[in-house]
A and B are shown apart, each in its own frame.
Chain A
Amino acid sequence: MSAQTTSKASPAGFVSSSRWLLWSGIAALCAWVMVPIYLVALGALGGRQGVYQWPKTGLPTGISLDPFILFLKTEGVLQSFLNSLGAAGITVALSILLGAPAGYALARYNFHGKDGYRLLVLLTRAFPLAILALPLTVSFIRLGLYDTIIGVGLIHTVLALPFAALVTQGIFMGVPRELEEAAWVFGCTRAQAFFKIVAPLALPGIVATAVFAFVISWNEVFAASVLTVRNRTLTAYLLTVLSESPMHYRFAGGLMLILPSVIFIFAVRRYLFAIWGISSK
């Protein structure tokens, strides 16, 4: 930063004051994001006494892991956590297995109906998809999918699949066609060329797409709440017990929802902008 500041030709005083403004703006926006997370973590680790402490200092006093562990041991919490993982796992698997081939077709082939397919995918964006869980209740009861993790995973796949198809299209377009064609020349079948040449190059992007599919499912509240009764996901569980839970349990639940997705977002931070650049075209 200092190198840039000095390299500017403008008068030093003006530059440093605008730099100062820039960095204080950036710092303020970073605090705006981070401080609320810090505060809910304090609430989750402060237990019952923490909630009623008045006035609060915002300092990490009187916190321990015990209240959070107590929350984890509450009946239903651990099970719903596992259910959320299961539903997200199904969503990841299905949206990649169904979406990546479509993305490859869009990237590599010209075919009749290509525009129609893209329209179908884009159409899903104009609809509040989770709401489609409402009529599915009836058919899912009939099919034995109601109140199951598979049912939740299926509807979450509807949310993640269009995204996966579009993003993987961009990823496959980034793999040079020449490499694939060279493999054919050297005697690989199309399938071999795909798995030996294209797949390894596309893998990091596909993993990032999978992480997003995970986060989409992990965070979804409405469809999961409508389609489950006993086998609740974590979001659905928290939503239904919300009104009768003590405050510190709610904060612990919030923290538990936040932690995994923040870690996942951190893991794919390098691909975030590439992915959204692709999917917003």
Chain B
Amino acid sequence: MTNNRSWIPYLLILPSVAFLALLFIVPLLQTIWLAFSDNGVPSPANAQRMMADINFARSIKNTFLLTLAVVPVQLAIALVMGTMVAKVGRGRETILWVWTIPLGISDLAAGLVWLSILQNSGYFNSLLLGLGIIERQASWLSYQTPVALFFAIAVAEIWRGTAIVMVIIVAGLNQVPREFREAAEIFGAGAWTRFWRITLPLIRPALQSALILRTVLAFEVFAVVYALGGRNFPVLVGEAYNWQNQNQNYGVAAAYAVLIMIISLAATMIYLKAIKVDPERLP
């Protein structure tokens, strides 16, 4: 483009840069300051108070376990979905639409959906009764059944969060040229080999962004937990919420926020390192 109009792109990006500076960068710095200061002077008091909190260790453990349980399953289901739908001709659009429906569903709504299934007089217990597995209503979501509650939350998260992974994976698969797989097939590679040696390496960029997105979201888990288990299952964002809204202690809430950010950033870094995307080998 002509040089005498070089100010145009800056004019075009300026509003969004200003907006993100004011509402992303500034709050980011404010959070860090709030977390590490006390009455206007630098202090580790908030961090210490956070770590001394009775729910601190539990909320870290719960959040990590949930992420470790949920993200791999979501990726696996998404890959299965992507592989399946690639073999379908007619009806492909409809199938993909059905599978993307949870994309529009919030974590709060997902929690309420699974509450209707897993509550004491819900459909899950009815099914178990019908199969003769239980005789009375069993409870799955109380503080006395932490393992069942964990699985309930994990199932709700997998139900809701798989769609986004699937959409990114399918978008990635669509960009893999058919010739690659056909060539491998001609040279005698089986379906399993083709998947591991051809398809998976070629969709690395999609894998990377799906994993980053999903993992950061998994560390943010909150409303689905609250809808299913109330405060029986502490998670990091839930603790930040409680310190802010119930205890009105913005400092400790900010300390939790900083902790969540550090974990999210670390996870992103690990994915960027672990899944190398080589631009020259992309289709």
Q: Which residues of A contact B (CB under 8 A)?
A: 1, 4, 22, 25-26, 29-30, 32-34, 36-37, 39-40, 42-43, 51-58, 94, 97-99, 101-102, 104-106, 108-111, 113-114, 117, 120-121, 124-139, 154-155, 157-158, 161-162, 165, 190, 215, 218-222, 225-226, 235, 238-239, 242-243, 247, 250-251, 253-254, 257-258, 261-262, 264-266, 269-270, 272-274, 276-277, 279-281
Which A residues are in CB contact (< 8 Å) with B212? 125-126
Which B residues are in CB contact (< 8 Å) with A270? 93
Across the interface, do A131 and B260 meet the contact criterion of CB distance under 8 Å?
yes
Which B residues are in CB contact (< 8 Å) with A52? 121
Interfacial residues of chain B within 1-42, with CB under 8 A of chain A in the complex: 1, 6, 8-10, 12-13, 15-17, 19-20, 23-24, 27-28, 30-31, 34
Given contacts A104-B12, A254-B116, contact A280 B108 (CB under 8 A): no
Closest residue of chain B to A254 (Cβ to Cβ) is: B112
Selected contact of A276 from candidates B16, B122, B168, CB within 8 Å: B168
Across the interface, do A272 and B265 meet the contact criterion of CB distance under 8 Å?
no
Given contacts A56-B123, A135-B254, A258-B109, contact A127 B28 (CB under 8 A): yes
Given contacts A105-B8, A111-B9, A134-B257, contact A128 B216 (CB under 8 A): yes
Across the interface, do A134 and B240 meet the contact criterion of CB distance under 8 Å?
yes
Shortest CB-to-CB span from B92 to chain A, Å, is 10
B80 interface residue (CB < 8 Å to A) = yes
Interfacial residues of chain B within 34-56, with CB under 8 A of chain A in the complex: 34
| Residue among B9, B80, B241, B265 with max Cβ neighbours from chain A (10 Å) | B9
Given contacts A4-B89, A125-B216, A242-B227, contact A33 B28 (CB under 8 A): no
Across the interface, do B100 and A221 meet the contact criterion of CB distance under 8 Å?
no
Interface 0/1 of B217-257, CB less than 8 Å to A: 00110110011001000000100110011000010011001
Give the docked Cα–Cα distance between A39 and B121 (Å): 13
B115 interface residue (CB < 8 Å to A) = yes
B167 interface residue (CB < 8 Å to A) = yes
Across the interface, do B105 and A269 meet the contact criterion of CB distance under 8 Å?
no
Given contacts A1-B90, A265-B101, contact A221 B257 (CB under 8 A): no
Across the interface, do B222 and A33 meet the contact criterion of CB distance under 8 Å?
no
Closest residue of chain A to B122 (Cβ to Cβ) is: A56
Given contacts A98-B19, A276-B167, contact A131 B117 (CB under 8 A): no
Selected contact of B237 from candidates A34, A222, A269, A277, CB within 8 Å: A222
Across the interface, do B209 and A158 meet the contact criterion of CB distance under 8 Å?
no
Across the interface, do B9 and A109 meet the contact criterion of CB distance under 8 Å?
yes
B113 interface residue (CB < 8 Å to A) = yes
Interface 0/1 of B84-110, CB less than 8 Å to A: 110111110101111111111111110
Across the interface, do A262 and B28 meet the contact criterion of CB distance under 8 Å?
no
Give the docked Cα–Cα distance between A273 and B95 (Å): 13
Give the docked Cα–Cα distance between A52 and B89 (Å): 44
Across the interface, do A127 and B264 meet the contact criterion of CB distance under 8 Å?
yes
Interfacial residues of chain B within 194-232, with CB under 8 A of chain A in the complex: 205-206, 209-210, 212-213, 216, 219-220, 222-223, 226-227, 230
Which A residues are in CB contact (< 8 Å) with B111? 254
Name the prevailing secondary structure of the A interface residues: helix
B283 interface residue (CB < 8 Å to A) = no
Across the interface, do B101 and A161 meet the contact criterion of CB distance under 8 Å?
no
Shortest CB-to-CB span from A72 to chain B, Å, is 16
Give the docked Cα–Cα distance between A167 and B122 (Å): 41
B140 interface residue (CB < 8 Å to A) = no
Shortest CB-to-CB span from B188 to chain A, Å, is 15
| Residue among A58, A221, A262 with max Cβ neighbours from chain B (10 Å) | A221
Selected contact of B105 from candidates A97, A130, A257, CB within 8 Å: A257
Across the interface, do B116 and A39 meet the contact criterion of CB distance under 8 Å?
yes
B159 interface residue (CB < 8 Å to A) = yes
Shortest CB-to-CB span from B249 to chain A, Å, is 11
Across the interface, do A33 and B102 meet the contact criterion of CB distance under 8 Å?
yes
Across the interface, do A128 and B170 meet the contact criterion of CB distance under 8 Å?
no
Shortest CB-to-CB span from B16 to chain A, Å, is 4
**CB<8 Å pairs between A and B, sample of 6:** A29-B80, A42-B116, A105-B12, A132-B31, A158-B23, A265-B104
B261 interface residue (CB < 8 Å to A) = yes
Closest residue of chain B to A252 (Cβ to Cβ) is: B112
Across the interface, do A161 and B210 meet the contact criterion of CB distance under 8 Å?
no
Which B residues are in CB contact (< 8 Å) with A42? 116
Across the interface, do A36 and B117 meet the contact criterion of CB distance under 8 Å?
yes
Which B residues are in CB contact (< 8 Å) with A109? 1, 8-9, 12
B147 interface residue (CB < 8 Å to A) = no
Across the interface, do A280 and B172 meet the contact criterion of CB distance under 8 Å?
yes
Across the interface, do A264 and B104 meet the contact criterion of CB distance under 8 Å?
yes
Which A residues are in CB contact (< 8 Å) with B145? none
Given contacts A1-B91, A4-B89, A56-B123, contact A273 B170 (CB under 8 A): yes
Across the interface, do A127 and B261 meet the contact criterion of CB distance under 8 Å?
yes
Give the docked Cα–Cα distance between A215 and B237 (Å): 21
Across the interface, do B23 and A135 meet the contact criterion of CB distance under 8 Å?
no
Give the docked Cα–Cα distance between A222 and B108 (Å): 10
